[in-house]
Structure 1
């Protein structure tokens, strides 16, 4: 039954629903002027989260779907870091106050590609422009292959308390096929050195569905990772979109597993992690029972944003850097994707907003429904629709895709309460998509559902 469902629904290309509507629906109808107005309207008591994008790596991993480029010299990185500091100060001036900050996330690319003194300058600029709460989570994404002791010291000095280490796979056949050769010893050294520096909350990122990957190699990677006992795992399915990411053309289609094999790999990883004591969080995260994310799941306070599952409940996410996306109560904004265009805008003292999306009331209603489905595998449509002044039955009537999911046993519907069947949770994106009023316009841009 599960294999049949994976074959039936798995080929469909669907969003990961880290936002709703998703980024392909952003347009230049929202630009710097609109963003400035939205910033000015943020309530005085609001607390923000910050995302800073560093679009540089030492080499290109061929599976990568991020906005990043290869930088072998220090100068472009230093110039970009200076632009980030300027943007932080520019946004703070627009806010006209030191806004409280509860979460900071450095993403990429490889944020730890910055020189230690550059990172120190950047985190100093953030603390000067914003009031970073003593309880704030400060997280950074790390490539263990290039992490140095000096960088670790700078991270610890800057208050970083969570680190996400890219692992993907320890299978050498897979590593050569994706141009990311990384030994277990490199990964273990990075984890040990971070913990010794006081950065004890570690996340490991794994990927299934990679070229030449097998269930056995997935399980071997998990087994090695468990020796290091990170607090969290994020387990993503490889998104093969060579039309939009040209370096992915180095990965041949016939090297990739089909939907059923991808499903079996995902299940094998999930079962191994759960047997090792980790709690499954939504679609693709796993956490130890004592971790904040596992606690949020138990308390029903889990959320989802552009970094995936999160404990962050802020309604204000400020994005900094080329291609960075921000979220405000009014909608979404995205900076210029090209580094040169971004830097030119910031150098001229202007907001670098290139596009965005202004939310409608229907968008807000559907966004809340989709978030609860993605986080809880269930949703009380009646309660949510009532909060938005809408009727649950009208919502159900507007989702013809749901009828097929109910018929196939993927979803159980009790009045206006919806629950994803236990053995069909791997299709949660398909369930969320039933409530996506914009889906048909962007299907080709997304990864396979399984």
Structure 2
């Protein structure tokens, strides 16, 4: 943040003198004290931000193995007691947050992800649901999402997950097994996926989303096309796509990936183009920038009615842009602040054992930056925005950048995302730093 600028409508967020070891948000990241985050929550509550639609993301980092392509905070856990202790302190973190913003606030979205959340046993899943219920109100209109791993999820567990109030499933998929597997993890056979999908449909979940990662080491456009064809045959409700980004500084295990096998930016663009073509020709509607849904799905209706919203959790038909994250490495998104928790399990536990927030770092946005982020979010939701919202030197500068890259056109009263921009906008925009990654994409 520039010295001459101040955060948007916010009391100062106190910075710590000790910077985090490995920045998650890039060069913009600065250390934040637990007290500073608490002050930010107080300010947001007084401003009424949590009354406009609130999302909660609960992060469960545990897996049985560490995939070489994993780009998330993860911990290998073979002892159930490790998860028990984690859930105990998860309850402590929820209490610290709701002590500031008030208990019983209604949630518009609840997302439980990981990691491998389906690694939890029945008692642990029930405890998790009870902890959330203790601190927030989950009404019938709340969008409840639970991430599962096909090889760790039985029909009985799906029935329990649905019984605990989760009505939507999300499955991260990096590869559908083929004759030449990439060996990067999260790879499942078509038979296993189809069996899991059949069980999920039997339990009658509202929506089943495949979270597809493309641009993996050694991956080809042909392989992506074949994988998407198999997915369309399985007929999930939604498909979410995102490009793989190698970051060996944050994830040391990725150093085992040969950089020469990484697809180039043009190759990733070709992969996404193949995904769009395959899904649209199979009856899916292209939602926003990187999601797809069946025509009768809630997201399709929200898009056609101009109600589509996008936050860190993806697209939703719920009017929510505030996200509170709890758990190891979890990220919270306020209008002027992105903050994150410790990514070290020991440090996360130590904070909560001492009754302190595990928040340790983040990015503070100025009023101008917050407005620019909101404008790009709007473009990714509705694919256009009123030209009047780009008034002022800073907003005009953003518009000039977007136009120079061919991402938008400005005609008459509207700024409209171009066909090329729909493919490229999220790959060029860094939602964490608030900058256009023009140089990085060249």
TM > 0.5: yes
Please say if residues 47 and 99 of structure 1, whose CA atoms lie closer than 8 Å, have aligned partners that are also in contact.
no
> Aligned in 2, Cα 1:45/1:374: closer, same or farther, shift over 3 Å?
closer
Name 2:16's counterpart in structure 1.
Answer: none
Looking at structure 2, the residues matched to 276 and 120 of structure 1 have their Cα atoms a distance apart, in angstroms, of: 38
Please say if residues 65 and 245 of structure 1, whose CA atoms lie closer than 8 Å, have aligned partners that are also in contact.
yes
> Aligned in 2, Cα 1:398/1:424: closer, same or farther, shift over 3 Å?
closer
Please say if residues 405 and 431 of structure 1, whose CA atoms lie closer than 8 Å, have aligned partners that are also in contact.
no
Q: State whether structure 2 residue 74 is matched by structure 1 residue 68.
A: yes
Once the 2 structures are TM-superposed, how far is the Cα of residue 49 of structure 1 from its aligned partner? 1.5
Please say if residues 57 and 110 of structure 2, whose CA atoms lie closer than 8 Å, have aligned partners that are also in contact.
yes
Once the 2 structures are TM-superposed, how far is the Cα of residue 432 of structure 1 from its aligned partner? 4.8
Once the 2 structures are TM-superposed, how far is the Cα of residue 309 of structure 1 from its aligned partner? 2.5
CA RMSD across the alignment: 2.7
Name 1:401's counterpart in structure 2.
Answer: 401
Once the 2 structures are TM-superposed, how far is the Cα of residue 430 of structure 1 from its aligned partner? 6.3
Looking at structure 2, the residues matched to 439 and 432 of structure 1 have their Cα atoms a distance apart, in angstroms, of: 6
- CA offset digits 1:263-319 (Å, max 9, x no partner): 222111111100111111122111111111112221222222222233332243221
Q: State whether structure 2 residue 324 is matched by structure 1 residue 327.
A: no
Q: State whether structure 2 residue 425 is matched by structure 1 residue 428.
A: yes
Q: State whether structure 2 residue 254 is matched by structure 1 residue 248.
A: yes
Looking at structure 2, the residues matched to 129 and 33 of structure 1 have their Cα atoms a distance apart, in angstroms, of: 21
Q: Secondary structure at the match of 1:260?
A: helix
Structure-to-structure mapping, 1:143-292, within 5 angstroms? 143-172=149-178, 175-292=181-298
> Aligned in 2, Cα 1:372/1:307: closer, same or farther, shift over 3 Å?
same
Looking at structure 2, the residues matched to 61 and 437 of structure 1 have their Cα atoms a distance apart, in angstroms, of: 27
Q: State whether structure 2 residue 41 is matched by structure 1 residue 39.
A: yes
Please say if residues 46 and 99 of structure 1, whose CA atoms lie closer than 8 Å, have aligned partners that are also in contact.
no
Please say if residues 299 and 308 of structure 2, whose CA atoms lie closer than 8 Å, have aligned partners that are also in contact.
yes
Looking at structure 1, the residues matched to 59 and 123 of structure 2 have their Cα atoms a distance apart, in angstroms, of: 18
> Aligned in 2, Cα 1:251/1:392: closer, same or farther, shift over 3 Å?
same
Q: Secondary structure at the match of 1:134?
A: coil
Looking at structure 2, the residues matched to 73 and 66 of structure 1 have their Cα atoms a distance apart, in angstroms, of: 21
Please say if residues 175 and 182 of structure 1, whose CA atoms lie closer than 8 Å, have aligned partners that are also in contact.
no
Once the 2 structures are TM-superposed, how far is the Cα of residue 166 of structure 1 from its aligned partner? 2.0
> Aligned in 2, Cα 1:431/1:372: closer, same or farther, shift over 3 Å?
farther
- CA offset digits 1:139-171 (Å, max 9, x no partner): 011111111334323211210101111222214
Name 2:435's counterpart in structure 1.
Answer: 439
Please say if residues 175 and 186 of structure 2, whose CA atoms lie closer than 8 Å, have aligned partners that are also in contact.
no
Once the 2 structures are TM-superposed, how far is the Cα of residue 55 of structure 1 from its aligned partner? 1.0
Looking at structure 1, the residues matched to 179 and 344 of structure 2 have their Cα atoms a distance apart, in angstroms, of: 33
- Which of 342, 367, 373 pairs up with 2:373? 367
Looking at structure 2, the residues matched to 329 and 185 of structure 1 have their Cα atoms a distance apart, in angstroms, of: 44
- Which of 350, 353, 370 pairs up with 1:347? 353
Once the 2 structures are TM-superposed, how far is the Cα of residue 249 of structure 1 from its aligned partner? 2.2
> Aligned in 2, Cα 1:328/1:237: closer, same or farther, shift over 3 Å?
closer
> Aligned in 2, Cα 1:436/1:113: closer, same or farther, shift over 3 Å?
closer
Name 2:11's counterpart in structure 1.
Answer: none
Once the 2 structures are TM-superposed, how far is the Cα of residue 334 of structure 1 from its aligned partner? 1.6
Please say if residues 369 and 381 of structure 1, whose CA atoms lie closer than 8 Å, have aligned partners that are also in contact.
no
Please say if residues 281 and 294 of structure 1, whose CA atoms lie closer than 8 Å, have aligned partners that are also in contact.
yes
- The structure with higher relative contact order (CA 8 Å, sep 6+) is 1
Q: Which runs of 5+ in 1 are unaligned?
A: 1-21, 386-390
> Aligned in 2, Cα 1:154/1:89: closer, same or farther, shift over 3 Å?
farther
Looking at structure 2, the residues matched to 430 and 187 of structure 1 have their Cα atoms a distance apart, in angstroms, of: 29
> Aligned in 2, Cα 1:437/1:123: closer, same or farther, shift over 3 Å?
closer
Q: Secondary structure at the match of 2:234?
A: coil
- Matched residues, number: 414
Please say if residues 116 and 150 of structure 1, whose CA atoms lie closer than 8 Å, have aligned partners that are also in contact.
no
Please say if residues 56 and 68 of structure 1, whose CA atoms lie closer than 8 Å, have aligned partners that are also in contact.
yes
Once the 2 structures are TM-superposed, how far is the Cα of residue 366 of structure 1 from its aligned partner? 0.4
Greater CA deviation, 78-87 or 102-111? Answer: 78-87
Looking at structure 2, the residues matched to 338 and 118 of structure 1 have their Cα atoms a distance apart, in angstroms, of: 22
- Which of 54, 60, 64 pairs up with 1:54? 60
Name 2:30's counterpart in structure 1.
Answer: 27
